[in-house]
Structure 1
Amino acid sequence: MAATEGQLPSTQITTEYLMSYVAPLDPPVPIDDSLLIVNVRPGGWVKGPKIDGQFVAPGADWLRIMPSGAMRLDVRGLIETDDGAHIYISYNGIIKSTPEVMERLNNGDVLTDRDIPYFIAAPTFQTASEQYGWLNDIQTINKMTEIQFGPEGYVKYDVFLVR
Structure 2
Amino acid sequence: MAQTAPSPPQLTLIYSMQALLGDRFSLGPVPNGQERIVIPIVGGTFKGPRLSGKVLNLGADWRLTDANGAIRPDARYNIQTDDGTNIFVQTIGLPPGKDGRTMLRGQFETATNGTYAWLNDVAAVGVLTRNGTASVTIDMWEATPPAL
Of 108, 122, 143 in structure 2, the residue corresponding to residue 138 of structure 1 is 122
Distance across 2 between alignment mates of 1:69 and 1:130:
42
Question: Unpaired runs of 5+ in structure 1?
Answer: 99-113
Distance across 1 between alignment mates of 2:27 and 2:132:
20
Greater helix proportion: 1
Any conservation in 2 of the 1:70–1:97 contact (CA below 8 Å)?
A: no
Any conservation in 2 of the 1:29–1:37 contact (CA below 8 Å)?
A: yes
The answer to whether residue 129 in structure 2 is matched with residue 160 in structure 1 is no
In the comparison of the two structures, how many residue pairs are matched? 136
Distance across 1 between alignment mates of 2:96 and 2:68:
9
Following superposition, the deviation at residue 38 of structure 1 comes to 0.6
Greater strand proportion: 2
Following superposition, the deviation at residue 97 of structure 1 comes to 5.6
- RMSD between superposed Cα atoms in Å: 2.0
Aligned to 2:73, the other structure's residue is in SS state strand
Question: Unpaired runs of 5+ in structure 2?
Answer: 29-33
Aligned to 2:69, the other structure's residue is in SS state coil
For residues 111-134 of structure 1, the C-alpha deviation after alignment (integer angstroms, 9 at most, x for no partner) is: xxx4x04x1111111111611111
Summarize the Cα distance change of 1:75–1:18 in structure 2 as closer, same or farther, 3 Å threshold: same
Identity over the aligned pairs, expressed in percent?
Answer: 26
Amino acid at match of 1:37: V
Under a length normalisation based on structure 2, what TM-score does the superposition of the two structures give?
Answer: 0.82
Under a length normalisation based on structure 1, what TM-score does the superposition of the two structures give?
Answer: 0.75
Runs of 4+ displaced beyond 3 Å: 8-11
Amino acid at match of 2:75: V
Aligned to 1:96, the other structure's residue is in SS state coil
